[in-house]
Structure 1
Amino acid sequence: MELILENFEVNFNPATELEEILQNVKTIVTTYKYSVPLDREFGINAKLIDMPSVDVAKIKLGSAIIEAVKKYEPRAKVLQVEFSGTTIEGLLVNKLQIEVSV
């Protein structure tokens, strides 16, 4: 299953449990830690994005994504995290493969 984050809008009334889980995973991976007032640990550490080594950033971001999803959305299990992008582009884009327990 592929998560596409382009034009991501929150749906406060998801039609299915699957839609709710996918939306929760999208929210987790697009939120920076310390930006949520009542749960400062929610999300991904933004400092990982600016690491000088792309290879190290990929490893640490992948691990952070897996741990955050495991903690905040236990109905989803991250099977694989792939990254595209280079230091020349200055952009890392992640693609998650997840398994959902509905």
Structure 2
Amino acid sequence: MSKADTPASSVTIPLTTPIQWHRDLVREIVLREPTWDDIMPIGHPVTLHSSPEGVQIPVENPAAIMHYAERCVVEPMDMNFLSQLGLRDTMRVRQAILDFFLSAGPGDAA
């Protein structure tokens, strides 16, 4: 995929450890911004819970984050390579998904 083909609302994540996937060496992942068709069935990747004192506590939903990563990967086109990611790269993909929602602005998140 060329830079011209990359969706405007996307993020490119350089991998700290390239992954051999079939005949290719994957050095980066491109994720597109989630859309209506992603968000409505999956929900937000973070929900807010209140402590007994009324303090708002954000709680991540790892299953939702995983589903967003699987649905929003643009490159490489086969999302099955995600299972090969190591800890650092997994955390970078996780943060990229969360950043899509954080960048939507206050009041727009869970």
Give the TM interval when normalised to the shorter protein. Answer: 0.3 to 0.5
Please report the TM-score for the alignment, with normalisation by the length of structure 2.
Answer: 0.33
* Structure with more of its chain in strand, by fraction: 2
Larger radius of gyration: 2
